[in-house]
Amino acid sequence: MNIIVHRGTNQIGGCITEIQTKTTRIIIDMGLELPDEEGNIDEEPLLIDGITKGEKNCDAVFFTHYHGDHIGMINNILPGVPMYMGRAAKEIYHTFEERKKSETAKIVEKVKTFRKGEKIRIGDITVTPFMVDHSAYDAYMFLVEADGKKVLHTGDFRTHGFRGKGVIPTLEKYVKNVDVLITEGTTLSRDTSNTKTERELQQEFMSLLAKYKYVFAITASTNIDRIASLHEATPRGKYFLCDRYQKKIIEIARKYGSKYTSLYSFKKALNYDNVMEKARNLGFCMLVRSGGKFLEIMKEYRDAYNSECLVIYSMWKGYLEQPNSKLKLLMEGFQNVVYLHTSGHADLEAILDVCNTVTPSQAIIPIHSVNPKRLDDLNLPYHIEYLEDAQVYEVK
């Protein structure tokens, strides 16, 4: 079995990992590169023989989740290559692309789906998906088995979210020891000593939503756990509002998640079009984005009720630092603005816990990081293999 990280050994985002045997070839994630500090994106697609160019020579592509830096090159995959992702993830991503009237929506319709723990046989490779906690709902790790070897690809994960406590027990029960661990390392370039849990964030939301009558929350439309935090924090008697598109995303999460936990019931979520006057009287928490009518609505409340308003920015701060950031416009002129966010990625402790749970006998391969060699600071008793993009690594 060979591992080739086509992209992602020394950068965050744009990840593409290949695992191959003599007869079978699969890909995990086909991501677009993230914008640089100036907001520029390399629009030249990565060309890989048999996958994005030439004659088809790939047995399957698996997507860990629907974030663009993991699925954004789906359009570049050669026709006829089977693609797989989680059921809820597929519906959310299709809704996201359909809103943009993108041709990608038609491609997403062809994607096959799987359930957690379901073994998928592709040639002589077996892939088993395990659901993980991440800022994208319905995200997965993949256990890849072939030639008597086991490789675990973590995708993006964390343990400080609502479902994070299940990550390590799942690995202990179903994965156990592996030969190679391919782990994300987003936070290896950051200080994670004060990482907030999603539950702690919810408590802070609760205090703020009780204090201010009108709350505008800027958060990603597909960050279901953050939306759930805000929903649960909205006091009785106040409205929880969003637009039609956001309501569709929420309904998908409700469809798949509410039978397991009340966290995803979203009983109070309403389309603002129908209740704005009532909400003006009683107060609300409204999910807002840079598009749509939100700027117009927020300007009205800023001008008339500024002291009673609060804007919560609950996304990565880097988006605000990009040139011509439209998100900044949503906050302009408001007296009360707070930043409340926690990462969708594993902190150092979570990475350490995963390493010590699956005890990779051959190697740890860090990806999705600009500082992978910080793993050396953890003094792990395992070999760490620092690959370069497109380098072939043999699992012996």
Q: Do 154 and 353 form a contact (C-beta atoms < 8 A)?
A: no
Which of 296, 319, 339 finishes a domain?
A: 339
Query: How many domains are contained in the chain?
Result: 2
Length of the chain counted residue by residue: 396
Query: Are 219 and 267 in a shared domain?
Result: yes
Examine the domain organization and report whether 113 and 227 are in the same domain. no
Domain that holds residue 284: 198-339
Does the pLDDT of residue 38 top 60, yes or no? no
Q: Please name which of 83, 75, 68, 78 lies closest in space to residue 28, comparing C-alpha atoms.
A: 83
For 260-264, 307-311, 333-337, 355-359, which range has the lowest pLDDT when averaged over its residues?
Answer: 260-264
Predicted confidence at residue 192, as pLDDT, reads: 83
- Given 339, 364, 385, the domain boundary residue is 339
What's the pLDDT at 322?
Answer: 81
Could you give the CA distance from residue 152 to residue 35 in angstroms, rounded to a whole number? 28
Q: Write down the pLDDT at residue 183.
A: 98
Regarding whether 142 and 42 lie in a shared domain, the answer is: yes
Give the Cα separation of 76 and 318 in Å (integer). Answer: 27
Task: List Cα–Cα distances, 65 to 43, 141, 209, 222, in angstroms.
Answer: 21, 9, 31, 11
Please state, in angstroms and rounded to a whole number, the distance separating the CA atoms of residues 320 and 208: 22
Handedness of CA 32, 33, 39, 42 (dihedral sign): negative
Q: Do 330 and 352 lie in a common domain? A: no
CATH number of the domain where residue 63 is located: 3.60.15.10
Residues 47 and 156 in one domain: yes
Q: Give the chain's end-to-end CA distance (angstroms, integer).
A: 7
Instruction: Encode pLDDT of 317-368 as tens digits.
Output: 888 888 888 899 999 999 999 999 999 999 999 999 999 999 999 999 999 9
- Amino acid 164 reads G
Distance in angstroms (rounded) separating the CA atoms of residues 33 and 30: 10
SS3 149: strand
| Segment 172-179 mean pLDDT | 98
Instruction: Take residue 349 and report the two structure tokens written for it.
Output: 């402790």
Please state, as a whole number, how many other Cβ atoms lie within 10 Å of the Cβ of residue 308. 15
Per-residue DSSP letters for 346-363? --HHHHHHHHHHH--SSE
* Encoded tokens for 42: 């390399």
In a shared domain, residues 49 and 122: yes
Phi/psi at 245 (nearest 5 deg)?
-60, -50
Residues 335 and 348 in one domain: no
User: Which one-letter amino acid corresponds to residue 187?
Assistant: T
Which residues neighbour 192 within 8 Å (Cβ) at sequence distance 6 or greater? 343, 347, 348, 349
- Arithmetic mean of pLDDT over the chain: 95
pLDDT for 42 equals 65
Whether 28 and 125 share a structural domain: yes
Q: Are residues 254 and 384 located together in one domain of the fold? A: no
**Where residue 247 sits, what CATH number does that domain have?**
3.40.50.10710
- Phi, psi (deg, nearest 5) at residue 365: -115, 110
Residues 371 and 348 sit within 8 Å (Cβ to Cβ) = no
* 361 and 245 in a common domain: no
The last residue of a domain, from among 339, 362, 377: 339
- Rounded to an integer, the average pLDDT of 37-62 is 85
Same domain, 264 and 178: no
**Closest to 82 (Cα-Cα) out of 141, 7, 14, 30:** 30
Q: Is there a single domain that holds both residue 144 and residue 205?
A: no
